[in-house]
A and B are shown apart, each in its own frame.
Chain A
Amino acid sequence: QSVLTQPPSVSGAPGQRVTISCTGSSSNIGARYDIHWYQQVPGTAPKLLIYENTNRPSGVPDRFSASKSGTSASLAITGLQAEDEADYYCQSFDNSLSGWVFGGGTKLTVL
């Protein structure tokens, strides 16, 4: 059971918009620790997708965006493309565990 809760899977057709939620608690997201998002294409290492809640590293398309509010965060992907099919993870810090935590991951399927 992950400290940060994500839906196991989401799907969408090419061109559509999907969102992935990440729900935490008062000891992580609610404690104002930043949320970061990673994309992991099957068979490869995770790649930083969004850092510090809303920021995209250089090279990440602006089709990817994220937000944070209260004890939750979400990742939005617009204009879905086949290459977006991957696992997505949210990550933060938890002060009750004194360590970094990940969501359980969400598998995105592009139909």
Chain B
Amino acid sequence: EVQLEESGGGLVNPGGSLRLSCAASGFDFSVYSMNWVRQAPGKGLEWVSCISSGSHYVYYADSVKGRFTISRDNAKNSLYLQMNSVRVEDTALYYCARGPRGIAVAASGYFDPWGQGTLVTVSS
């Protein structure tokens, strides 16, 4: 069974840092692009970042560019999101979601499956 499990969320002060992890199982993690998508409380979905299968290509939403860093370890079947200089508006449930299979990232790709999410709360 294909599974994604996020961890690392919690309460962090504005300006602080946090590292999210996503453990993948049930599929060949090394051949798929991976994404982080977040959902603020009571709000809609917002794509955050994407990384290609071999880490050659990374993409960020403007709202997190320069503050967040996506990475992966294919040997450990794991995806990461390093969150620095966090802001109150970064408060959200962060989902890990699998993208398309391939070396490059397909612009027309979709996200499937999704993990259950890890909650990040930025507050003093």
Q: Residues of A at under 8 Å CB distance from B?
A: 2, 33-34, 36, 38, 40, 44-48, 51-52, 57, 87, 89, 91-93, 95, 97-105
Contacts and interface: CB of A to CB of B under 8 A. Distances in A.
A51 B95 CA distance: 19
Q: Which 10 A-B pairs have the closest CB atoms?
A: A34-B108, A48-B112, A36-B110, A100-B47, A93-B107, A105-B44, A45-B114, A102-B45, A51-B110, A104-B44
A101 B114 contact: no
A45 B95 contact: yes
B118 to A, nearest CB: 11
Interface of B: 35, 37, 44-47, 50, 59-62, 95, 107-117
Contacts, number: 66
B45 A45 contact: no
B47 A102 contact: yes
B104 to A, nearest CB: 13
Contacts of B112: 48, 51, 57
Given A48-B110, A91-B111, A99-B62, 10 more contacts: A33-B107, A38-B45, A40-B45, A89-B45, A93-B109, A99-B47, A100-B47, A100-B109, A101-B47, A105-B45
B107 A102 contact: no
A33 B108 contact: yes
B50 A45 contact: no
Contacts of A95: 107
A27 B111 CA distance: 20
B108 to A, nearest CB: 4
Nearest to A2: B44
